[in-house]
Amino acid sequence: MNQVKRDSVYFLADFHLGVPNKKASLEREKKIVRFLESIKDDAKQIYLLGDIFDLWFEYKYVVPKGYVRLLGKLAELTDNGVKIDFFCGNHDFWQKDYFEKELNIKIHKESSKIIVLDGKRFMIGHGDGLDKSDFKYKFIDFMFKNWASIKFISLCPTNWFMSVGNSWSKKSRKSHKAIDLIDLKEKEPIYVYCKKVLEKEDIDYFVFGHRHIVCDITLNNKARYINVGDWVNDCCYAKWNNEELIVKRFEKE
Ligand SMILES: [Mn+2]
């Protein structure tokens, strides 16, 4: 058997599997699987930066239906030694231990984390809840993510919560659309956050999702803010090849 040399690190986000309907979601899922197949001999690490599912609420004994092609491919990758980390987004925050136990994928619930690759410092995460002074967001965040709410939801009938949850999730995406049209930079919350972090921290690359906008913005003489966009429209990803971080588009390169 040929020895494969895996040395690239990939970042991707916002697949939003499950919407807008089964057909479109399945098509997207197959495309993502083709992408994962294309990098399987090259990737040493994959960071999934959240909102992979449009709604994921995991119960003690039950997980949402569907997505078996993606789950199977992720299992194949980790079985073959590719490391995968999953940063929960605002749509798929309610993970328990299914991904860790079944797929050997590490789950992160923190809003961001600093990782070091080849001496470069990356701050990565989904991209929501970064600004701790945003009280409106913090309140909503608290309502849905605290232990008691999660326990309460898990005791509600599954069918009831999943249908309420799905319609909430659709609304949340619609509200996204309106703000996605704003100018980047000073009006872009993640950009503002990155600038603030740079006042205190030494970071080379900020990599986030959540905004459904692909961007690669220079922040100072070395730091960049990269948003990998979504797979509903953009199908982009960022690749670290040990020297540089490149943003690429799958099947349109
Ligand atoms: Mn999001």
What is the whole-number distance in angstroms between the Cα of residue 63 and the centre of ligand 1? 20
Helix/strand/coil for 85: strand
What is the whole-number distance in angstroms between the Cα of residue 211 and the centre of ligand 1? 7
Of 25, 24, 14, the C-alpha closest to 66 is 25
Q: Give dist(CA 240, CA 128) in Å, integer.
A: 23
Q: Would strands 236-240 and 214-218 be described as parallel, antiparallel, or unpaired?
A: unpaired
What is the whole-number distance in angstroms between the Cα of residue 154 and the centre of ligand 1? 22
User: Would you give per-residue pLDDT tens digits along the chain (253 residues)?
Assistant: 556 788 999 999 999 999 999 999 999 999 999 999 999 999 999 999 999 999 998 888 889 999 999 999 999 999 999 999 999 999 988 889 999 999 999 999 999 999 999 999 999 999 998 877 666 777 777 767 777 777 777 777 777 777 777 777 777 666 555 445 445 677 788 999 999 999 999 999 999 999 999 999 999 999 999 999 999 999 999 999 999 999 999 987 4
What is the whole-number distance in angstroms between the Cα of residue 15 and the centre of ligand 1? 10
Tokens of 14: 């916002």
What is the whole-number distance in angstroms between the Cα of residue 5 and the centre of ligand 1? 33
Show the domains of the chain with their CATH numbers: 8-249 (3.60.21.10)
Q: Beta partners for 67?
A: none
**Preceding omega of 64 cis (within 30 degrees of 0):** no
Of 143, 146, 159, 129, the C-alpha closest to 59 is 159
What is the whole-number distance in angstroms between the Cα of residue 3 and the centre of ligand 1? 38
What is the whole-number distance in angstroms between the Cα of residue 176 and the centre of ligand 1? 9
What angle (nearest 5°) sits at the alpha carbon of residue 59, between those of residues 58 and 63? 55
What is the whole-number distance in angstroms between the Cα of residue 221 and the centre of ligand 1? 29
